[in-house]
A and B are shown apart, each in its own frame.
Chain A
Amino acid sequence: MKLKAAFLSLILLVICTDIFAEEKRFNIPIGDSPQKGSAEAPVTIVEFIDFQ
């Protein structure tokens, strides 16, 4: 019984680790912010900037 519980915990841990390994992605509205390049580009870089 103990072994079974330990085994289940292990499985649970593996599943959780896997879920959290998937990096969080933020969804940032582009709006009318200054931009360069095509809206169709496969990669969008949003940069938060401070000029000083």
Chain B
Amino acid sequence: MAAGPVVKKIVDTYKSKVRLVIKNYPYKYRDYSHIAAEASLAAADQGKYWEMHDLLLKNSPKLDRESLLRYAKELGLDLKLFTASLDGKKHAAEIERDKQLAFDMDLYSTPTYFINGRKVVGNRPYEYLKQVIEEELKNAKK
């Protein structure tokens, strides 16, 4: 799972003060977690990462191959390239690297956030994340 709207609101509110970085941590026992991560990175190759990211969150858990191809088409991606990337698991190494990072930190659930390195586990209300960010902005000014 991912938070989607709450994080989006944070990024929209704080704009230049916040940078958002995504690491993939697909759960191995879910059918479409891996292929969805591949789809997001395949879209990134064509400059449409965030558009695909939003579509995946909106349509989750409908993330089977056919659905992913439909989302790619919806975004106007080059389908031949996208399909080759998806089927060839072009980004498998990158995804594994993210997973390894998660293992190394004993992470077991998504979403997990690190706000300037401070760990926040699970979906949180906007106010909670806002408070952590305000604290960090205060620290940054010191």
Contact = CB atoms under 8 A, between A and B. Distances in A.
Interface of A: 23-39, 41-52
B18 A51 contact: no
Nearest to B7: A47
Contact of B25 (A28, A34, A49): A49
* Chain B contact patch, size range: 35 or more
Given A37-B11, A50-B27, A44 B19 contact: yes
Contact of A25 (B37, B97, B112, B116): B116
A44 B91 CA distance: 24
Contact of A24 (B10, B53, B119, B133): B119
A45 B18 contact: yes
Contacts of B115: 43-45
Given A25-B117, A43-B115, A51-B60, A36 B25 contact: no
Contact of A46 (B15, B21, B27, B136): B21
Interface string B93-134: 010011001100101001111111111000000000000010
B121 to A, nearest CB: 10
Given A23-B118, A35-B22, A49 B17 contact: no
Nearest to A42: B140
A43 B25 contact: no
Contacts of B113: 45-48
Nearest to A29: B101
Given A43-B115, A45-B115, A52 B33 contact: yes
